[in-house]
Structures are given as C-alpha cells and as structure tokens.
Amino acid sequence: MTLARGVFRFVAPIGIAFALLLVIWVVFLEAFPQVGPRVGQTPAAVWTYLFGDEKSAAHRETIFSNLEITLRDAGVGFLVGMGAALIVASVFVVSRAVEQTFMPVAMLLRSVPLVALTPIIVLIFGRGIVGVTVMVAIVVFFPALVMIMVGLREAPTGAQDLIAAYGGNRWMALRMVAVPSALPSVFAAARISVPGALIGALIGEWLGSGQGLGSSMIKAIPRYQYNELWASIVVITVVSIVLYAIVGLLENFALQRMK
C-alpha cells in the first residue's frame, strides 16, 4: 500500500502538469491567432514531427542528442551550485561576521542578469563545459543559498545547546543537528533548482558553448524550423517536470527513512 501511494504521488503530479501544459498550449494558440499555423505548432503537429513522420527517427535523434548535452551541462552545474550553496550556507550560519561581510556582495551579484554576466564568464572560463557550468551554478547557487540558510537556522536550539554543554563546537552542532534538520530545506532548494539548472544550461549553450538544445533552438528560428523549435521546447519542459517530480520522490523517501 505504501509503495502504491508513493507511485501515485510520483505519477499524479506529472499527469496533472502534462494536462495543464496541453491546456495552456492550446489556449495560447487560440488566444493569439496572429501567431499563425506556420509558427505556432499544435500538439498534434509536434507529435507528428516526433513520432508520426517518416523522418521522425532522425528528428528524435537530433533533439535527444542535443538534450543529452543539455542534461550533462545542467547536471554538472546543478551539483556544483548546490554543493557551493551548502558549504557557503554552513559557513554563514556558523560565522555571523563572514555572513555580514559577504552576503551583501552575493545579493548584489544576484541582482545582475545572467545575460549581462555571460560575456565576462565566457571571457574568463571559455565557451566549453566549464563556462556553461559556471552559468548554471550561478542560477542554482543563490536561491539554494537562501533556502538552505533558513533551514540551518531553524535547527532545534535545545539539541545544539546540549552539544555545546558536552564541549562540542559550532561545527559539530552544525553537522549533528543543523544539517539533518535542514534536509527538507535542502530538498526544497533542489526541487526549485532543477528547472533553474536547465534554464541556465540553455542560456549558457545559447550565448556560450553553441551546443545542446539552447543552441539548436536558436538556430532553428532563422531556418524556419518551427517544428523542431516547438518539439525541443516540449521535450525540455517534459524533462523538467519529470526531474522535479523525481527530486520530490527522493525527498519523500529520504524524510521517511529519517523518521
């Protein structure tokens, strides 16, 4: 029964999200007829492009090969951004002086649009996976930093005082009390950061590496390949929804094991 409930919690949000996606898609095309059938592709047209045409296999190979690059870029940047956010949040929570010194700088950098930072990032780190990783990590880092800090600060005070009474330092209290109690915040940050990582990867590929879905979607516009453009958007959206749900499932599993 528990397994069935867990599967339902995983499948139901995905089904609802897909249904809403289709409704919004159709309503958008109906509400803006000026888009035209050549530019505004319907769900049926995208399905035909991916599965119902004699060239569908080639279309899928092109899109999924680019998707593989995008997932690699997003995955590496996600891990770097989340790891950096966890480390920096821990340092900020342990040392108020460090937080007061560097947090305003972090918030100032966060206010700068990523598109504006891209030329500097490309100049310093190049157009390869390192540059794209930095862009993705920036997108992931700042929201995750704030959420993880909130979770670490909500750790039970009594448990931390008990560790201090037995001679433990702040780092021990952080490791033994704050980090375990902050796991819901860490998973919440991860769920929010998954779509952000994909968006960061697309921006990095568009403005930096010239590879992956981010680059192929931009190149499809001047070639009037709107079927490819819409199919790519649908694929990356579906992947984003599925990854979001998977992180939520892992969160439920981890929190159940801790009880």
Stretch 23-42: mean pLDDT: 86
At 1 the pLDDT is 45
Q: Pick from 114, 141, 144, 107: which is nearest to 208 by CA?
A: 114
- Residue 9 confidence (pLDDT) above 80: no
Q: Which two tokens stand for residue 1?
A: 């029964």
The sign of the CA dihedral 9, 11, 14, 19 is negative
- Residue 218 confidence (pLDDT) above 60: yes
- Residue 183 confidence (pLDDT) above 50: yes
Stretch 186-211: mean pLDDT: 88
Q: What is the pTM of this model?
A: 0.85
More confident residue, 165 or 87: 87
Residue 92, CA atoms < 13 Å, CB-side half-sphere: 22
- Residue 258 confidence (pLDDT) above 70: no
- Lowest pLDDT segment from 83-92, 149-158, 236-245: 149-158
- Lowest pLDDT segment from 19-28, 162-171, 244-253: 162-171
At 64 the pLDDT is 93
Stretch 154-178: mean pLDDT: 71
- Residue 56 confidence (pLDDT) above 80: yes
pLDDT digits (tens, 9 = 90+) for 106-148: 777 777 787 788 888 888 888 888 989 999 999 999 889 988 8
More confident residue, 220 or 159: 220
At 242 the pLDDT is 87
Which domains are assigned to the chain? 41-258 (1.10.3720.10)
The backbone torsions φ and ψ at residue 141, rounded to the nearest 5 degrees and listed phi first, read -60, -50
Rg (CA), the chain: 22
Question: CA separation (Å) from 242 to 12, 72, 235, 237?
Answer: 11, 16, 11, 9
| Non-local CB neighbours of 39 within 8 Å, separated by 6+ positions | 226
Give first-to-last CA distance, the chain, whole Å. 18
Stretch 200-218: mean pLDDT: 87
